[in-house]
Amino acid sequence: MKKKINISNLGSGISSVEGTWQFNKNVANVFDKHVKQSIPHYNDIQDYIVSLSEWFIKENSVIHDLGCSTGETIKKINDLNVSNNCKIIGYDTSKRMIDLAKKKVRSPKLKKRKINFVCKNVLDIKRFEKSNLFISILLFPFLKLSERKKILKKIYDSLETGGAFICVEKIRANNANYEDIFNQIYFDYKLKKKLNEKQILNKAKSLRSSMNLFSQKKTIQLIKDSKFQSCEIFFKCFNFLGYIAIK
């Protein structure tokens, strides 16, 4: 007798096999809508990252976006009135995400910089092209500790001196009481964004075996252990953290 497969509704037209979360075609098609329902201040975070990037985009700069999804960050950086002579490379494991990103930056209204998209797991890349800037939005929560250390080393080794790594991720509170408070406020936020209780619970279940969260203290310590000369937090909202580290 075949085991019954439970399909869960996660909102925004997204469904998942219970207990799993994958950035597949199903997720990619509605990702932009879903992420705005799920991440507090998502549009603001995008704007903050783009503004920060202006300090690191120079002539012949190379910019890497790790886990670029539908290319929203790359599109915004490409809109900047800064040097045209730079290259932007976006990486994602989802071919559908890459296809959507290519369409997003193909607009004739956008500046014509060299933009490449690579459909590949960043952990499988042995060496990145020398770069002035790495960006990662919500990729790190899906990395194990050993994978996180591995990719941080690659980022550091590939950055030019004075280059930066800008990262946004979900973290755990340092204290269990605050973890409970922040999680419940986060659920309230999702309800206000028109997700219902069942969808919120289904999403939490789908992420059980996928997410690896660390405290802010542990997260920043990992950056310091990777030899970055400095690290500063530019965004914090409950269990979401944005930071910039400079080599």
Per-residue pLDDT of the chain (247 residues; tens, 9 = 90+): 333 333 344 444 444 333 444 555 677 888 898 899 899 999 999 999 999 999 999 888 999 999 999 999 999 999 887 767 889 999 999 999 999 999 998 865 556 679 999 999 999 999 999 999 999 999 999 999 999 999 999 999 999 999 999 999 999 999 999 999 999 999 999 999 998 998 888 888 888 888 999 999 999 999 999 999 999 999 999 999 999 999 9
Alpha helices in the chain (DSSP H): 25-28, 31-38, 42-53, 72-78, 95-104, 145-158, 176-192, 197-206, 216-225
pLDDT for position 25: 63
Q: What does each C-alpha distance from 244 to 66, 90, 164, 220 come to in angstroms?
A: 15, 19, 7, 10
* 171/232 Cα distance (integer angstroms): 16
**Gap between the Cα atoms of 229 and 247, Å rounded:** 5
Starting at the edge strand found earlier in the chain, the sheet holding 62-66 runs: 114-119, 87-92, 62-66, 131-137, 159-170, 240-246, 230-237
Burial of 94 (0-12, 13-18, 19+ CB in 10 A): buried
Are residues 71 and 85 in contact, defined by beta-carbon separation less than 8 angstroms?
no
Supply the DSSP string of 44-67, one letter for each residue: HHHHHHHHHHTTT--TT-EEEEET
Tokens of 160: 């030019």
38-173+209-246: which CATH topology?
Rossmann fold (3.40.50)
- Of 185, 188, 63, 41, nearest in space to 130 by CA: 63
Instruction: Specify the pTM.
Output: 0.88
Note whether 144 and 212 are within 8 A (CB).
Answer: yes
What is the rounded distance in angstroms from the CA atom of residue 88 to the CA atom of residue 115?
A: 5
